[in-house]
Structure 1
Amino acid sequence: MDFDFSDDQQALRDAVAKWVEKDYGFERRQQIVKAGGFDRSVYNELANLGLTGIWISEEHGGLGLGPVDAMVVLEELGRGIVTEPLAQAFVTSAVIGQYGSAAVQAAWLPKIASGEALVVLAQQERKTRYHLERCEAQASGSGDSWTVTGLKSIVPAGDQADAFVVPAMADSKMALFLIERSAQGVSTRGYLTQDEARAAEVKFDSAPATLITTEGLAALTYAVDVGIACACAEGVGTMEQTLRLTTEYMNQRKQFGVVIASFQALRHRVADMKMQLELARSMSYYAMLKLGAPEAERRQALSRAKVQLGQSMRVVGQQSVQLHGGIGVTDEYAGSHYFKRLTQLEMTYGDTLHHLGEVSERMQESAGVFA
């Protein structure tokens, strides 16, 4: 099997890396954070690079690429700890493209592809933890006329997005809806998250909604699996940059007249960080490649990947802070912000312990035994 990236994928990686280096430096990120954690002009820059249309077919104005191309992009954005939620464009365009009617696809996919509309997934509720089948939001109506009532939490850029993909219960069965932020009955309360991105509580009070699919749980599961794969890719890029910052610091910081990178015990710890990064990278690739598998196989694969990514992000982040010493947790130093991002990613779409339970539940009786 050929695991090398194509020339087009390498060119895509280079273009995004160049944008991060030249146009999204740490100082600009800090300005965005102080302004609220989201900058629409940055999202528009990503759209102008064609990135918002990666997961959308050419028929609807996208690039017609796929998960591996999205992974390449997100790794580079992870290196810059970009706060604008490009991954949400991948999640919502993937689920609309997979489950939406022709009319819904025609109405929204071109807008997502062009960057005209930021559409985000609003699935988290206060009592659901990470269990997707739990949903208190209620939908009423039929045909083309639906309304949704409910409260969704920690919605990425929820007070800045143009529309939401929302799961709600319709006649005791989950369905998936699209609701515009400007619609009557929609209210938002925005805030900064721990990793300095933006999120919001979004309340729907009999808000008019467009039905995406009545197969809501299957569609939501697919959307979250895409989100997990995206989080894994971002995590790999964030860990790579964390490791780079750590080794650069160790080659500059001196104790007893020599750089601390010369201390064997510390070199072993860096080797452990590198090993965890490579384990995470392989599972990130595995996650993206399994998105097209049948649901049971896909779910198990994504949980496996999230377990490894969670373990790796914890090791890399914590070792980086310890190897830096006090400067590693100061707000003025970039390394502390990478640590916060890794911590947030570990919790996104289910923490390590949750997904360890998911992997355990899906084990067969012969798991680990060769017949």
Structure 2
Amino acid sequence: MNFDLDDEQILVRDAIDRLFDTQAAAETHDLATEWRAYQDLGLIALPFSAEQGGLDGSRETIMLLMESYGRTLAQAPYLQSVLLAGRILARTGHPALGDLLDGGLHAVLCLHEPGMRYRWDIPATQAVRTDAGWTLRGAKVAVLDADSADLILCPATTAEGLAIFLVPAATPGLSVQIHPTPDGRRAANLTFDVMLPHDAAIGDPAMLGEAVDGGIVACCAEAVGAMERLVSLSADYLNTRHQFGVPLSCFQALQHRAADMLVAVEQARSMTFYAVSMLDAPPAQRQVAVAASKALVNRAARFVGSEAIQLHGGMGLAAEYPAGRYFQRLTVLETMLGDTDHLLEQVEAGPPLPS
């Protein structure tokens, strides 16, 4: 596999880096302003086809975007609104996609339920067909960016099997309980006891697995970006902090630990490239490849984050210093859309990967 970027990808990466660096350096953060900048640069339209009003961006380009997102600890709801909910809307041809591309709509996909861990494919949330439409009842937990959502995509079990339901955020009977995440973002627990029209059910449930696997790869790329920045912060600290009259970077044991961190980042990047290349594989092989990739990225994130905190000493835990914030982001990404134990269970139960 060729890991080198072509000229177009380099130009896109540099433009994305400039935007994210500018937003990260701002003293205040306004979601509406940042989201408008995403739209102006074409980032919202990037993953979608030209026929749908998008820019036909490649999966490799999306990976570069998410790496930059992780390097700058961005907080705009790109994963949820564009890469998860947006892709489902695109696959179904739903008109709400147009509002999303215009920047006027935020959507979220709620997957996880109390006591179900990561088994989003067998939801306890139930939808019953009535003469008036659908009655949807159930609960979802840890829905990132739900507080800013205009539209919620909720998988539920029906008499015919799994279905996806569109629930406007203002629907009576929808309860939203917001809580902070460890990395300073906001998530919510949702309770549904709502009435929906007949056309609220959309799409083939198979597309849900495709969207989730794409989201997992995006999480891997985001983690790689965060780890890369954390290694850079650690190297700067070792070169700056002195002990016994010399920089910490002069001590061979610390050099070895920094080198091990760098190796872990490059392994994680290689596995993320592999996962990207497998997104067009048959569903069973795609799922195993993506699960194996995130399991390795999770372990790398835990290793790099822990080593960085130890190398920084007390500074690594100071709220004023960025190393701790990157460690918090990596901790959240480690559990997002599947922790290591769950992913390894998928790898063990799935078909063998192609040689």
Q: How far did 1:237 drift?
A: 0.4
The answer for the alignment partner of 2:85 in structure 1 is 92
Instruction: Please give the TM-score of this superposition, normalised by the length of structure 1.
Output: 0.90
Residue 291 of structure 2 corresponds to residue 291 of structure 1: no
Tell me, what secondary structure is at the counterpart of 2:183?
coil
The AA in structure 2 aligned to 1:212 is: I
Q: How far did 1:278 drift?
A: 0.4
1:143–1:322 Cα change, 3 Å: farther
Q: How far did 1:144 drift?
A: 9.5
Residue 18 of structure 2 corresponds to residue 18 of structure 1: yes
Q: Aligned equivalents of 2:144 and 2:32: distance in 1?
A: 13
Q: Aligned equivalents of 2:2 and 2:349: distance in 1?
A: 33
Tell me, what secondary structure is at the counterpart of 2:329?
helix
Q: How far did 1:184 drift?
A: 2.6
The answer for the alignment partner of 2:169 in structure 1 is 181
Q: How far did 1:123 drift?
A: 1.1
The answer for the alignment partner of 1:41 in structure 2 is 33
Range with bigger deviation, 202-211 or 9-18: 202-211
Residue 338 of structure 2 corresponds to residue 345 of structure 1: no
Q: Aligned equivalents of 2:195 and 2:275: distance in 1?
A: 35
Q: How far did 1:204 drift?
A: 1.8
Q: Aligned equivalents of 2:298 and 2:2: distance in 1?
A: 27
Range with bigger deviation, 120-129 or 58-67: 58-67
Tell me, what secondary structure is at the counterpart of 1:52?
coil
Instruction: Please give the TM-score of this superposition, normalised by the length of structure 2.
Output: 0.93
**Any residues of structure 2 matched to 1:128-139 within 5 Å, and which?**
128-139=116-127
Tell me, what secondary structure is at the counterpart of 2:74?
coil
Range with bigger deviation, 2-11 or 231-240: 2-11
The AA in structure 2 aligned to 1:119 is: A
C-alpha distance after superposition, 1:320-366 (max 9, x if no partner): 000000010111111100000011101111111211121112255xx
The AA in structure 1 aligned to 2:76 is: E
1:221–1:143 Cα change, 3 Å: farther
Residue 201 of structure 2 corresponds to residue 211 of structure 1: yes
Q: Aligned equivalents of 2:121 and 2:351: distance in 1?
A: 20
The answer for the alignment partner of 2:73 in structure 1 is 81
Q: How far did 1:114 drift?
A: 2.2
1:127–1:149 Cα change, 3 Å: same
**8 A contact 2:83–2:211 mirrored in 1:** no
The AA in structure 2 aligned to 1:75 is: E
1:142–1:58 Cα change, 3 Å: farther
**Any residues of structure 2 matched to 1:11-160 within 5 Å, and which?**
11-25=11-25, 28=27, 31-32=28-29, 39-88=31-80, 89-98=82-91, 100=92, 102=93, 104=94, 107-141=95-129, 145-160=133-148
Q: Aligned equivalents of 2:69 and 2:132: distance in 1?
A: 38
The AA in structure 1 aligned to 2:271 is: M
The answer for the alignment partner of 1:8 in structure 2 is 8
1:95–1:263 Cα change, 3 Å: same
Aligned residues: 352
Q: How far did 1:52 drift?
A: 1.1
Q: Aligned equivalents of 1:282 and 1:143: distance in 2?
A: 52
1:186–1:40 Cα change, 3 Å: farther
C-alpha distance after superposition, 1:282-320 (max 9, x if no partner): 111111221111100100100110111011001110000
Q: Aligned equivalents of 1:201 and 1:73: distance in 2?
A: 28
Q: How far did 1:15 drift?
A: 0.9
Q: Aligned equivalents of 1:143 and 1:6: distance in 2?
A: 55
Tell me, what secondary structure is at the counterpart of 1:78?
helix
Q: Aligned equivalents of 2:39 and 2:190: distance in 1?
A: 25
Q: Percent identity?
A: 35
**8 A contact 1:83–1:198 mirrored in 2:** no
Tell me, what secondary structure is at the counterpart of 2:44?
helix
The AA in structure 2 aligned to 1:81 is: L
**How large is the RMSD of aligned CA atoms in angstroms?**
2.0
Gaps of 5+ in 2: none
1:109–1:330 Cα change, 3 Å: same
Q: How far did 1:142 drift?
A: 7.0
Gaps of 5+ in 1: 33-37
The answer for the alignment partner of 1:35 in structure 2 is none
Q: Aligned equivalents of 1:188 and 1:303: distance in 2?
A: 30
Tell me, what secondary structure is at the counterpart of 1:154?
strand
